[in-house]
Amino acid sequence: MSAENTTTAWAGVANGKPLTKMELTLKQWDDDSVNLDVTHCGICGSDVHTLDEGWGPTDFPCVVGHEIAGVVTKVGKNVTNVKVGDRAGVGAQSGACHKCEMCLDGQENVCQGGIVYTYSSKWPSGDKSLGGYADKWRGDYRFVFKIPDNITNEIAATFFCAGITTFAPLSRANIIPGKSVVGIMGIGGLGHFGVQFAKGMGAKVVAISQSERKRDVAKELGCDDYINAQNKEDMEKHDSTLTHILCTGNGPDFQWRTYFALMKPNGHFINVSAPDWDFPGMNAFDLLSKQIHISGSGIGAPKEMEKMLQFAADKNIKPWIQKYKMDDVNQAIKDFRAGKPRFRYVLVN
């Protein structure tokens, strides 16, 4: 176990190199700080994008991991939401300015004055933010969330990124029980959460994929129907039937027109996917003819995180996880790159 102000972490040291175990210094302690002993940390696609510098240069050494669950070991004087001994978690965001218009409106996830991401970011002090591939985490209590009693840490971990990324936009999207028909593009780490949340909200849910490969899995998750976007009969059957599409993943051959055809007038196309390639252009009339609403969403605000955790506890929503020991992180990353997860990997200390 590392000393109080350091963490033993598995850090990326360079693009293309394996993660290396090392001691690193945590951010400066202050009255808003919380210390966690990390028990579990999910592996997210964002981790691999960052290690591979797919979204831009990475400040190595970098400790990724932003699906963190653990036990609170120390709290600052200003901390009101958790206490020592509580089980708690942290997502992709660890800090905000708390002063800008968005923060004051309870939308800290789109803070305009100084957002701090859980890794590959800097605290106002200049300290580097360190993620959850480690034995300890330290950060701002306003982005630490108590885990409900009926959710274990291993189950809770992946809610803190994959869960909130899908729950938050669906909860804002005016899902009407018994009336809304939600298409989930991509039945994977994000999509399998999207299916469960949309079903929990009372919608009819239709999986959308590029082959027959996920049809049985979609049924097991609770989908009401399935669209193979390469199958002409499937596409014709579901023409103009969806009130919402939640896009959790697509490929470089993505075309707007294909999916707009599935949507009812005034439908909502919600994107939560963040590939390292640009979306294509679109024909204006494809957008205008059905009055399609296009929106994007990244993670979620603290109040949405709390709402999601309670929703998951009430509806018994659970990710499909596979566990690896933290010391086996390089094998887990290798398996992740090979596309093996069904559907989230969780590292265990």
Residue pair 341/191 in contact by the 8 Å Cβ criterion: no
Residue pair 68/132 in contact by the 8 Å Cβ criterion: yes
Q: Structure tokens of 127?
A: 């300290």
Residue pair 141/299 in contact by the 8 Å Cβ criterion: no
- In the chain, where the domains are located: 6-161+300-348, 164-296
In a structure prediction context, what are the per-residue pLDDT tens digits for the chain, which is 349 residues long?
568 899 999 999 999 999 999 999 999 999 999 999 999 999 999 999 999 999 999 999 999 999 999 999 999 999 999 999 999 999 999 999 999 999 999 999 999 999 999 999 999 999 999 999 999 999 999 999 999 999 999 999 999 999 999 999 999 999 999 999 999 999 999 999 999 999 999 999 999 999 999 999 999 999 999 999 999 999 999 999 999 999 999 989 999 999 999 999 999 999 999 988 899 999 999 999 999 999 999 999 999 999 999 999 999 999 999 999 999 999 999 999 999 999 999 999 9
Q: Is 274 exposed, middle or buried (0-12, 13-18, 19+ CB in 10 A)?
A: middle
Q: Classify domain 164-296 by CATH number.
A: 3.40.50.720
Pick the CATH number of 6-161+300-348 from 3.90.1150.10, 3.90.180.10, 1.10.150.120, 3.30.70.20: 3.90.180.10
